[in-house]
């Protein structure tokens, strides 16, 4: 019985990462390759995340570059980046050459400059040039999401010339996502799109200029993710050509790449709103890095919460005289925070869609105040009725109802404006809007309910 078979029988119930770790430790390269090849794609990321950094490096080093590239594509971006950075430049270069050009650029663009250059020097010159060019684009524009693997031909070529090229370079084109070919003039400017079906059914001597779709839909390399998402939502394209400022064809952006980038943005915005700053966090990352990222948010929040709580300290005599007010403090705070967060979400969404500009503070404020008055009155009356029913004190209902009404107006006003102001100050609204809104609404809510209660203290205490 082989050592591979012995290991399998000895650990029938072992988790995949345990068996993979055993193969790494025993140096069984062929068994490792077979195991990774048979492992379902859905299990790859989980299995790799449970290995140590040294074991992960050993796994990808043992695989053929094309298989290692397939594995890397299944990993979360942050994990893939860390893995590639740990490898020897020659090994990393061989793996990157097997990845699509947009993924090459994403990884190269986020590496340390020295590490990136060491890898680029060992890559195929054409791949390295493409990766350098694409890495200069921002991640959320068409240039940062496009691939440079596509079929491009002169619009003066004949059908025979194109078919001959496809046959001669079949090995190179086999990995391309081929749906269309793109026709360009002598200067490289996009002139048309050629459907491969039309090519196969055409006469051999016919020029592709006579077959192509003229004036095709294209996007600039600076087109934003929001604009691309809107384009693919309105038109069911698999991809669109990308051109530069001169109209030259530079790449193709796929609908799948835009959908993935949109999903990543939503995930990142959610993480930021929850206090995970500095990029994606995975539990396989070093402890100190994860801790510092979270503390950067939590340390600011504790200061802001102390400021808000200090308002209660100022009115502690009022609170001790009418202890029922303590029941309504968290209600006022939470409801106003919810109203403010709704306004934040709307402002951020409209900013991303280009429906408002950061300087339109007055317009946004007027619209939010009107809504705040309507919702504030409704919520205020509801909580006032609850307070009156509970204690039978009309003035207690007036205090909590009026406080909630006014604080709702404050919350939606501030919530609607904070993203605009932060955008003008070049601060990410997804990171800073939450703690600022919470602090302001808490301070105002505590001040309003306790301040009004102080003015009516004789009526409440009686």
CATH code: domain of residue 82: 1.25.60.10
Contact present, 226 and 138 (Cβ < 8 Å): no
Single out the residue in 239, 273, 307 at which a domain terminates: 273
How many domains would you assign to the chain? 3
Distance CA 120, CA 89 (A): 8
Residues 265 and 318 in one domain: no
Residues 229 and 266 in one domain: yes
Residues 165 and 241 in one domain: yes
Residues 311 and 416 in one domain: yes
Count helices and strands (H / E) in the chain: 24, 7
The whole domain housing 75 covers 3-136
**Is 391 within the bounds of a domain?**
yes
Q: How many CB atoms lie within 10 A of CB 438?
A: 20
**Is 142 within the bounds of a domain?**
no
**Is 441 within the bounds of a domain?**
yes
Contact present, 450 and 315 (Cβ < 8 Å): yes
Residues 117 and 205 in one domain: no
Contact present, 337 and 411 (Cβ < 8 Å): yes
DSSP annotation string for 166-207: HHHTHHHHTTS--SEEEEE-TT-BEEEEEEHHHHHHS-TT-B
Average pLDDT of every residue of the chain: 86
Single out the residue in 223, 250, 273 at which a domain terminates: 273
Sign of CA dihedral 49, 51, 54, 57: negative
429 vs 397, residue with greater confidence: 397
Highest mean pLDDT (candidates 133-137, 255-259, 281-285): 255-259
Give the pTM: 0.63
Residues 35 and 89 in one domain: yes
Query: Which residues are CB-contacts of 141 (< 8 A; sequence separation ≥ 6)?
Result: 221, 222, 223, 224, 225
Residues 302 and 206 in one domain: no
pLDDT exceeds cutoff 50 at 1:
no
Residue 229, both tokens? 């998402």
Q: How many CB atoms lie within 10 A of CB 431?
A: 19
Q: pLDDT-derived band of residue 2, with 50, 70 and 90 as boundaries? A: very low
Query: Which residues are CB-contacts of 81 (< 8 A; sequence separation ≥ 6)?
Result: 107, 110, 111
Continuous H helices in 211-286: 225-234, 255-273
Parallel, antiparallel, or unpaired: how do β-strands 190-195 and 213-214 relate? Answer: antiparallel
Q: pLDDT-derived band of residue 432, with 50, 70 and 90 as boundaries? A: low
Q: Please state the φ and ψ torsions of residue 32, each to the nearest 5 degrees.
A: -65, -45
Contact present, 79 and 282 (Cβ < 8 Å): yes
Distance CA 137, CA 180 (A): 25
pLDDT in tens, 366-415: 999 999 999 999 999 999 999 999 988 999 999 999 999 999 999 999 99
Q: Which of 120, 60, 64 is nearest to 89 (CA)?
A: 120
Distance CA 353, CA 376 (A): 28
Contact present, 324 and 396 (Cβ < 8 Å): yes
- With tokens 């303590």, the residue in question is 326
What per-residue confidence (pLDDT) applies to 276?
Answer: 60
Residues 426 and 381 in one domain: yes
pLDDT exceeds cutoff 80 at 105:
yes
Contact present, 383 and 448 (Cβ < 8 Å): no
Single out the residue in 273, 295, 317 at which a domain terminates: 273
Contact present, 120 and 131 (Cβ < 8 Å): yes
Contact present, 53 and 61 (Cβ < 8 Å): no
Check which CATH number belongs to the domain holding 384 and give it.
Answer: 1.10.357.20
Region of 60 (left: φ > 0; alpha: ψ -120 to 50; beta: rest) is: alpha
Contact present, 153 and 162 (Cβ < 8 Å): yes
**Is 282 within the bounds of a domain?**
no
Contact present, 232 and 184 (Cβ < 8 Å): no
pLDDT exceeds cutoff 60 at 6:
no
Residues 341 and 405 in one domain: yes
pLDDT in tens, 224-260: 998 999 899 888 888 999 999 999 999 999 998 898 8
| Beta-bridge mates of residue 224 | 141
**Is 279 within the bounds of a domain?**
no
Residue 224, both tokens? 């934003």
Residues 128 and 236 in one domain: no
The order of strands in the sheet holding 213-214 is 151-154, 180-184, 190-195, 213-214
First to last CA, the chain: 90
**Is 63 within the bounds of a domain?**
yes
Check which CATH number belongs to the domain holding 174 and give it.
Answer: 3.10.580.10
Residues 222 and 169 in one domain: yes
What per-residue confidence (pLDDT) applies to 5?
Answer: 46
**Is 375 within the bounds of a domain?**
yes
Share of the chain above pLDDT 70, in %: 92
**Is 146 within the bounds of a domain?**
no
DSSP annotation string for 52-121: -HHHHHHHHHHS-HHHHHHHHHHS-HHHHHHHHHHS-HHHHHHHHTTS-HHHHHHHHHHS-HHHHHHHHT
What per-residue confidence (pLDDT) applies to 298?
Answer: 72
Residues 127 and 159 in one domain: no
């Amino acid at each position: 019985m082989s050592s591979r078979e012995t290991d399998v029988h000895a650990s029938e119930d072992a988790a995949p990462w345990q068996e993979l770790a055993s193969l790494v430790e025993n140096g069984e390269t062929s068994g490792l390759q077979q195991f990774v090849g048979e492992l379902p794609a859905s299990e790859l990321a989980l299995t790799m995340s449970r290995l140590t950094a040294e074991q992960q490096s050993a796994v990808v080093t043992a695989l053929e570059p094309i298989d290692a590239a397939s594995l890397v594509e299944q990993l979360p971006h942050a994990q893939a980046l860390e893995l590639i950075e740990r490898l020897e430049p020659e090994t990393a270069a061989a793996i990157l050459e097997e990845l699509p050009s947009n993924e090459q650029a994403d990884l190269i663009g986020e590496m340390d400059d020295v590490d990136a250059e060491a890898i680029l020097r060992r890559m195929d010159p054409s791949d390295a040039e493409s990766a350098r060019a694409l890495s200069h684009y921002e991640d959320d524009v068409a240039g940062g999401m496009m691939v440079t693997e596509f079929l491009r031909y002169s619009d003066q070529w004949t059908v025979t010339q194109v078919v001959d090229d496809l046959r001669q370079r079949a090995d190179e084109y086999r990995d391309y996502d081929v749906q269309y070919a793109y026709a360009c003039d002598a200067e490289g400017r996009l002139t048309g799109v050629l459907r491969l079906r039309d090519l196969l059914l055409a006469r051999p001597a016919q020029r592709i200029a006579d077959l192509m779709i003229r004036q095709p839909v294209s996007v600039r390399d600076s087109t934003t993710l929001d604009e691309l998402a809107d384009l693919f939502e309105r038109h069911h394209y698999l991809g669109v050509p990308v051109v530069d400022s001169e109209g030259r064809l530079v790449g193709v952006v796929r609908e799948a790449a835009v959908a993935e980038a949109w999903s990543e943005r939503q995930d990142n915005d959610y993480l930021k709103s929850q206090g995970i700053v500095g990029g994606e966090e995975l539990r396989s990352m070093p402890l100190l890095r994860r801790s510092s990222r979270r503390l950067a948010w939590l340390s600011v929040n504790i200061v802001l919460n102390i400021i808000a709580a200090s308002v209660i300290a100022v009115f502690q005599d009022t609170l001790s005289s009418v202890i029922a007010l303590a029941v309504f403090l968290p209600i006022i705070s939470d409801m106003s925070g919810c109203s403010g967060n709704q306004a934040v979400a709307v402002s951020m969404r409209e900013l991303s869609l280009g429906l408002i500009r950061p300087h339109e503070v007055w317009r946004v404020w007027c619209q939010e105040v009107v809504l705040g008055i309507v919702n504030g009155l409704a919520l205020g009356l509801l909580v006032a009725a609850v307070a009156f029913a509970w204690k039978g004190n009309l003035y207690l209902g007036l205090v909590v109802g009026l406080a909630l009404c006014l604080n709702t107006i404050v919350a939606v006003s501030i919530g609607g404006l904070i993203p605009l102001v932060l955008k003008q100050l070049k601060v990410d609204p997804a990171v800073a809007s939450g703690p600022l809104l919470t602090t302001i609404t808490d301070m105002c809510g505590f001040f309003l309910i306790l301040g009004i209660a102080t003015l009516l203290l004789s009526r409440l205490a009686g």
